[in-house]
């Protein structure tokens, strides 16, 4: 009965929820600066009569009590920040904040959770337990809003037994969901290297320490970290993505800056790799007469979907959506700070299909032309509501 009730309400509230998405998309805010977004979410929850708590500056937490509230608590999470990208879409709800865009679908996640909150609040006499709504800031920027929310007690009072998060997938057609058990997404660390030496005239390299050459050797040497030290059955990536030094054709500079990323699926290997990176960079620089400054900004842990919860959640999704609309998602080397939650309590992070090639909607996330097939909104809000009303692991 609750499944059909949720379907009916999701259909009835879909247009309103799409309007919420349009507002959020048009007014994006960067990580930890989501002031107006936070106020908007608070207003929507307050209008529904849902009590709220503010955390991590701009984060919002709501509680919906069903029958027998202490019998179980489940957390539903959405992220609310946007990216520093200039939007190129020519749509009525295009970003009005120049250079800022919801290019990763966080406007979709937030609107779907607000839609689910409306459904759950209206049906709270028809299900048991408590649903904790987590609207989290700063997913796109270290240290990750999730880590701050956890530190401030978001997983306490009441303590959720599990947490569910959703992410748009423009490569998956609208109408479908995808799940994966175990390791789902990689950890992500940022690498910053400064190579320092004696600059000088390019015609007299013997009187300099050629930091361009040193930095080049470091880039090549770092590729051995993964290829010759990591278990090939455990995915890992080390990429140097920025090489900055010099300003003309005939001067060897005194400094070169490198930036890159390190991704891993295994926390033990992640820790070991950090030490190997440091050893490799320092030894190359010392051997070539240069000095280095190395900083590894430790980012999000890998996202791990609890195996038992995964089986239960996938079965629930098939029950609600139909087996033919539920798929297995691929392993991804992208990162998500949902990993902080899944390291603490059983988590389920699934994908919402938002693409529609017939409509020309296929641009990837983090691009200036990203958009969604908005038929996905009704699916996302109803699935989150159904999980909130029925999912449990014990």
**Hey, what are 123's tokens?**
């049906």
Strands 162-173 and 73-79: parallel
**Hey, what are 287's tokens?**
């051997």
Asked if residue 362 has pLDDT above 90, the reply is: yes
Asked if residue 208 has pLDDT above 90, the reply is: yes
| Cα dist from 26 to 18, 21, 110, 282, whole Å | 12, 8, 14, 47
Rounded to the nearest 5°, which phi and psi values hold at 259?
-135, 145
* DSSP conformational letter for 101: B
Q: What is the pLDDT of residues 40-62, one digit of tens each?
A: 999 999 999 999 999 999 999 99
- The CA distance from 365 to 371, in Å, is 8
Q: Are 202 and 250 in contact (CB under 8 A)?
A: yes
The average pLDDT across 172-191 equals 97
The average pLDDT across 92-121 equals 98
H or E segment and range at residue 394? none
Q: So what's the pLDDT on residue 306?
A: 98
Rounded to the nearest 5°, which phi and psi values hold at 77?
-120, 140
Q: Are 388 and 75 in contact (CB under 8 A)?
A: no
**Hey, what are 220's tokens?**
């090549």
| Cα dist from 389 to 3, 185, 205, whole Å | 9, 27, 70
Q: Where are the alpha helices (DSSP H) in 131-266?
A: 145-151, 211-229
The average pLDDT across 200-214 equals 97
The average pLDDT across 328-339 equals 95
| Cα dist from 196 to 213, 282, 285, whole Å | 11, 12, 9
Helix (H/G/I), strand (E/B), else coil: 152: coil
> 143: cis peptide before it, omega within 30°?
yes
Beta partners for residue 64, in sequence order: 131
Q: Which residue has the tokens 């990208």?
A: 85
Contacts of 221 (CB under 8 A, 6+ apart): 280, 281, 284
Q: What is the pLDDT of residues 219-275, one digit of tens each?
A: 999 999 999 999 999 999 999 999 999 999 999 999 999 999 999 999 999 999 999
The average pLDDT across 80-101 equals 98
In the chain, count H helices and then E strands. Answer: 9, 16
- The CA distance from 307 to 338, in Å, is 16
Q: So what's the pLDDT on residue 250?
A: 97
Active site residues: 81, 139
**pLDDT confidence band for 92 (50 / 70 / 90):** very high
Q: So what's the pLDDT on residue 84?
A: 98
Asked if residue 394 has pLDDT above 90, the reply is: no
H or E segment and range at residue 304? strand 303-305
Q: Are 100 and 85 in contact (CB under 8 A)?
A: yes
User: What does the mean pLDDT of the chain come to?
Assistant: 97
Q: Where are the alpha helices (DSSP H) in the chain?
A: 2-26, 35-47, 106-122, 145-151, 211-229, 267-287, 307-321, 338-342, 375-390
Asked if residue 33 has pLDDT above 90, the reply is: yes
**Which string of DSSP letters, residue by residue, matches 54-117?**
EETTTEEEEEEE-BSGGG-EEEEEEE--BBS------STT--SSTT-B--SSHHHHHHHHHHHH
Q: What is the pLDDT of residues 183-199, one digit of tens each?
A: 999 999 999 999 999 99
Q: So what's the pLDDT on residue 175?
A: 97
- Residue ranges and CATH numbers for the domains of the chain are 2-185+302-390 (3.40.630.10), 187-297 (3.30.70.360)
């Amino acid at each position: 009965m609750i499944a059909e009730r949720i379907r009916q309400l999701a259909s009835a509230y879909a247009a309103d929820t799409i309007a919420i998405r349009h507002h959020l998309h048009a007014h994006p805010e960067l990580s930890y600066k989501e002031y107006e977004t936070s106020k908007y979410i608070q207003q929507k929850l307050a209008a529904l009569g849902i009590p709220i708590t503010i955390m991590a500056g701009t984060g919002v937490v709501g509680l919906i009590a069903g029958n027998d509230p202490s019998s179980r608590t489940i957390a539903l999470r959405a992220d609310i920040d946007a990216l520093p990208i200039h939007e190129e879409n020519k749509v009525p709800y295009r970003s009005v904040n120049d250079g800022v865009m919801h290019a990763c679908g966080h406007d979709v996640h937030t609107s779907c959770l607000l839609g689910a909150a409306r459904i759950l609040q209206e049906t709270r006499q028809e299900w048991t337990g408590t649903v904790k709504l987590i609207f989290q800031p700063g997913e796109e920027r270290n240290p990750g809003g999730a880590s701050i929310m956890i530190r401030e007690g978001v997983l306490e009072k009441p303590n959720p037994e599990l947490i569910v998060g959703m992410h748009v997938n423009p490569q998956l057609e609208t109408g479908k969901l995808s799940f994966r058990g175990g390791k789902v997404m990689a950890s992500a660390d940022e690498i910053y290297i400064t190579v320092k030496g004696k600059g000088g005239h390019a015609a007299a390299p013997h009187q300099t320490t050629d930091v361009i050459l040193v930095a080049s050797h470091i880039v090549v040497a770092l590729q051995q970290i993964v290829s010759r030290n990591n278990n090939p059955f455990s995915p890992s990536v080390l990429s140097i993505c920025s090489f900055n030094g010099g300003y003309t054709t005939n001067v060897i500079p005194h400094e070169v800056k490198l930036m890159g990323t390190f991704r891993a699926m295994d926390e033990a290997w992640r820790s070991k790799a950090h030490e190997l990176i440091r050893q490799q960079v320092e030894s190359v620089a010392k051997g070539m007469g240069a000095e280095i400054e190395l900083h590894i900004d430790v980012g999000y842990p890998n996202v791990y979907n609890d195996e038992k919860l995964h089986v239960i959640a996938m079965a629930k999704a098939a029950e609600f959506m139909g087996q033919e609309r539920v798929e297995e998602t691929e392993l991804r080397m992208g990162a998500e700070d949902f990993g902080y939650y899944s390291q603490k309590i059983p988590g389920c992070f699934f994908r919402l299909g938002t693409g529609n090639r017939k409509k020309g909607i296929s641009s990837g996330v983090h691009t200036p032309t990203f958009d969604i097939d908005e038929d996905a909104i009704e699916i996302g809000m109803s699935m989150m509501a159904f999980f909130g009303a029925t999912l449990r692991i014990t």
